[in-house]
């Protein structure tokens, strides 16, 4: 019985990983379309606003719950997702998108604390450490580029 349960769990996790891959592919296509709208339609603010909201409210929460919750590098990406609206947008769009991003991240953290069973756990500690390190390096580089352009 336990072997069947473990096999079904493995099949379910494999299915979810395929779903995440499709979601990421969809976000890449969405990003390209957003860039085209920004360039051709000459509406970069709208493009940035929609992209930030879709990323912060759809992509990152799904990745967060399917990749281990607090035990994944997505937490670093959520940190940058809170910062980016304040860098890329102006006026009321900056405040609205920034607050929505903070609420989205807070909801992810609260739901994972209240319902820990919906967060998929990570089994391989080496993969977890590699994800932490790579996420920290990439997010640090993004911050370095952003703030060096702002300061200079």
Q: Spell out the alpha helix ranges (H) of the chain.
A: 2-40, 44-54, 60-66, 74-88, 91-114, 125-151
- Pick the closest to residue 64 from 48, 46, 50, 76 (CA basis): 76
Query: What integer best gives the mean pLDDT of the chain?
Result: 77
Tens digit of pLDDT for each residue in 121-139? Answer: 777 777 777 777 878 887 8
**For range 61-66, the mean pLDDT:** 84
Q: How far apart are CA 98 and CA 83, in angstroms?
A: 7
Per-residue pLDDT, 48? 79
């Amino acid at each position: 019985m336990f072997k069947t349960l473990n096999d079904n769990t493995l099949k379910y996790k494999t299915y979810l990983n395929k779903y995440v891959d499709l979601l990421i592919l969809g976000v890449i296509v969405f990003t390209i379309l957003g860039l085209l709208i920004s360039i051709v339609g000459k509406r970069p603010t709208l493009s940035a606003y929609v992209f930030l909201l879709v990323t912060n409210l759809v992509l990152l929460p799904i990745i967060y719950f399917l990749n281990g919750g607090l035990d994944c590098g997505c937490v670093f990406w959520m940190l940058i997702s809170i910062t980016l609206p304040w860098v890329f947008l102006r006026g009321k769009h900056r405040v609205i998108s920034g607050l929505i991003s903070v609420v989205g991240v807070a909801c992810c953290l609260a739901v994972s604390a209240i319902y820990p069973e919906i967060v998929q756990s990570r089994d391989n500690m080496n993969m977890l450490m590699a994800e932490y390190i790579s996420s920290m390096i990439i997010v640090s580089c993004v911050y370095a580029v952003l703030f060096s352009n702002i300061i200079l």
